[in-house]
Structure 1
Amino acid sequence: MSGTSETAGYIEPGAYERDTNYITTRITADGRDGYPVEPGRYRLVAARACPWANRTLIVRRLLGLEDALSLGLCGPTHDQRSWTFDLGPGGVDPVLGVHFLRDAYLARFPGYPRGITVPAVVDVPTGQVVTNDYAQITLDFSTEWVRHHRPGAPQLYPEPLRAEIDQVNRRVYTEVNNGVYRCGFAGDQDSYDAAYDRLFTALDWLSERLSDRRYLVGEAITEADVRLFTTLARFDAVYHGHFKCNRTKLTEMPVLWAYARDLFQTPGFGDTIDFTQIKQHYYMVHTDINPTGIVPKGPELSGWLIPHGRETLPGTPFGDGTPPPPPRPAEQVTDQFAI
């Protein structure tokens, strides 16, 4: 999500308040918002650096939507104008033909006043953004795109568990996913102290919850695990130092560290993570926190491949389903642990 806007900084006086007004148009099986599910019509625009966009990369992989929904990747940095397609030749998206993601926003909403955020789903025929409602996008992948799931796709949002998944997701979002940002973008000491205490209270609660269960809800991976994982994956690399979330590193929280490694080593999770781009984004874009733009060389990240030992707990990653195949060559992460 990590939005861009016309303002230069991320820190304002007092506690950090996230702008949660997104484009809530949905792509559904019945097309009730004017955008029916149609394979090949839409393009998911994401950035590997962004935790909110990373969720969509994971869910798309797990459900096998690669043929139905193409992928455009922005680079790890942006300015006040927009995320940009600066990874490939010519600096333009080969399908949308634009350099700035904001062009897709302005094509539908001239003078769009809010941040240009990822993930976004763009209607390819018109070049117009359909939605950037990151929380709903992944739920709709699970529930509205069912006809295009791969054989063996897991049930990430099963009906019997939805109430519990929603309850866990609410706390994980407010206290952890957004909690690290409330620490990092706090505008005064009291706001930072309160955010810090809330974050680690929630992480302690998650450690206790996961001490005797392999996954957050039920006995297989669900949407709840996807949402927590993308924050944990960035914790030591950026949040511990850059956002001052420094009571303990993830590697010093035994249950959460083992849980995070378990997911990282599960096909569809770790193979979407690019630590180099993650570090570049946070340390180079947030210049009001890190004015030099220097990207630290550490920490050592190869520990993500250490055996986790959580296979002894009840449950299996995909339930009655199967792992996704390896990423397609064009979507593989290279030099994953490079600094």
Structure 2
Amino acid sequence: MTQARGRWRKRSATQAVTLSDVAAAAGVSAQTVSRAIRDPASVSKETGARIERAIAKTGYVRNLFAANLASNRSQTVAAVIPAMNASVFAETLHAFEERLRPHGYQIFVGSSDYHADREEALVRSFLGRRPDGFLLVGTEHTTAARKLLTALPVVETWDLTDRPIDVLVGFSGEAATAELVAHLAERGRRRITFASRQLPGDQRSAERLAGYTQAVTALGAEPRTVEVAAGTVTMDLGVELLDLALARFPDSDAVMFSSDVFAAGALLACVRRGIDVPGRLAITGFGDFELARHLVPALTTVAVPQTRIGELAADLLLDRIHGRSVAEPVRDVGYRIEIRASS
């Protein structure tokens, strides 16, 4: 596109649309267009909308390579999560991306599949794309990955540690599970079985198991656990875990599942089989997924502020990227025990 006699007109196919063309079409300066593209929140909504219409009209495509060289920023953030098919992480990522978008940032995502060496490989690969920062789920990383990540802003999420790489937003899964045990004990349950999938590298599941074990031992009872070491998080696997629990500990009066998905599969199986929940068997989950409150009976579980984790992680990372001081680098967002009819 080009400008002639104060009017914007279409360029030939061999000519690239420039920032000045967009500025002329929007009726603003080229500096304003540049600022709006770099940081949409820095201009008014009306000006931003005008510039967006001008970009669409002119077909302008930003030269990111040149922009990155000029600003020494890529306007991208890398995120490494344990699994793509886990909705809890998807909700956190969505909130994270929504918070970053008004500031002109995009995210690219990789999955470690709960393997620390794969996380390290992703970190190395993503660093080659020069992101301005990283989001990680978890606080356990290889020594090499930690060393690589000290070179730029990093926010770790979902867990707590006294050794964060940079800034951290999380909660204690161990404390949450222990509190859930206390709730069941208050309801008179003493033969509580914990059912989970324990994969190497799944720190969150290991913490929940540790919280259960400590709390049950404190009650003077023997820990009862069943677990699988493979498989995806599905309701079918929840049924398998229920069968393991009842076969190994037939007198169980409660089964705590490490995920709402497992708990939902088990609870529905109990309904089909005529097992009274919670009369014969109390069932609890972890996560407070949407389906938890729609089950009959509704599922007692641990509610995790998934959206808040993503929003706060984005805020802290933006502060670090822009060199602003962070008064509280570690944020414990807590959890909530949702007591419903299944217990």
TM-score scaled by structure 1? 0.30
Between structures 1 and 2, the one with greater strand share: 2
Between structures 1 and 2, the one with greater helix share: 2
